[in-house]
Amino acid sequence: MKIIVCIKQVPDTNEVRLDPKTGTLIRDGVPSIINPDDMCGIEAALQLKDQYGCHVTAITMGPPQADVALREALAMGCDEAYLVSDRAFGGADTWATSSTLAAAIKKLGYDLIITGRQAIDGDTAQVGPQIAEHLGIPQVTYAQNIEKTEGNALIVQRQYEDRYQKIKITCPALITALSSLNSPRYMSVAGVVSAYDTKEVKLLTFEDLKDHVAEENIGLKGSPTKVKKSFPKQVKAQGVKHEVDEDEAVEIIVKKLKEHFVL
């Protein structure tokens, strides 16, 4: 089984700064990590590799410095790594990003695609499902457990807020992983040495993918989403505590709801 894991390099900070003119993230001076949900996706793929001898490829779309994230994936145990990078891909929203990644994945060939549920610098949870739609394959999102059965079939436990659902799918398919899926392994010393000395991060540009994706569907040109305004998390004002009985509490709540035109 050939598994492709989609990962993203994201800022390692809760104190995200925004450019007031462009509304984009200021990444200078901010350390980067592999997105946490994507780390669990890597671990899920590596566990399948450990049990069944699967071939695992890590792929990311980003600037040249995203090479570091891919080498970390190689050091964890991935067999190959591909960086999808080109100025033509810049400014992509989730639609253009998923179109580009789907083209790269189609070129590489696959049985199973694993992505993280969502990235901490965007929280859209759109790219994974969109990749599946571009490729026309089944998908299971919010995966909390993955079991391989006979042939190319998998049983995936899909988590809801108050329950879970078990779904059997046949590959080719796509799964989006929750951070509760597993605990990612550490990089080994031998893995780090191999990732930097013997293994190669291969580059895919638009020239490599042009037979699989139209130019009007990539980068800023192919991004229908327009950001009207960006802002960091706002600190909420301290609440008011009322030590009253149940009847008075109901009156206070109803009054507040009326003040805010909810009732």
CATH number at residue 89: 3.40.50.620
Phi, psi (rounded to 5 degrees) for 90: -65, 145
Tell me, yes or no, whether 246 lies in a domain.
no
- pLDDT category, 20, cuts 50, 70, 90? low
Percent of the chain past pLDDT 90, that is, above it, reads: 53
Confidence (pLDDT) at 161: 81
Whether 238 is covered by a domain: the verdict is no
pLDDT of amino acid 42: 95
In this structure, are strands 32-34 and 9-11 parallel, antiparallel, or unpaired?
A: antiparallel
Please indicate, yes or no, if residue 249 is contained in any of the structural domains: no
Q: What is d(CA 124, CA 115) in angstroms, rounded to the nearest whole number?
A: 13
Answer with the residue of higher pLDDT: 75 or 11.
Answer: 75
Structurally, the chain folds into a number of domains equal to: 1
Helical packing angle, 189-197 and 67-76, nearest 10°: 130
Q: What is the pLDDT of residue 23?
A: 62
Question: Is 147 inside a domain boundary?
Answer: yes
pLDDT of residue 54: 92
pLDDT computed for residue 24 by the predictor? 64
Decide: 156 and 143 in contact? Cβ < 8 Å: yes
Per-residue pLDDT tens digits for 32-89? 889 899 999 999 999 999 998 999 999 999 999 999 999 999 999 999 999 999 999 9
Q: Does residue 243 fall inside a structural domain? A: no
Please state the rounded mean pLDDT for residues 198-203: 93
Enclosing domain of residue 24: 2-217
Closest listed residue to residue 68, CA positions, set 205, 177, 194, 195: 195
Q: Strand 9-11 vs strand 139-148: parallel, antiparallel, or unpaired? A: unpaired
Is residue 240 in some structural domain? no
Residues 6-21, mean pLDDT to the nearest whole number: 76
Answer yes or no: is pLDDT of 27 > 80.
no
The whole-number pLDDT of residue 147 equals 86
Residue 165 reports pLDDT greater than 80: yes
pLDDT at 118 over 90: no
Q: What mean pLDDT do residues 139-153 have? A: 87
Domain presence at residue 116: yes
Whose structure tokens read 């080994």? 188
92 found inside a domain = yes
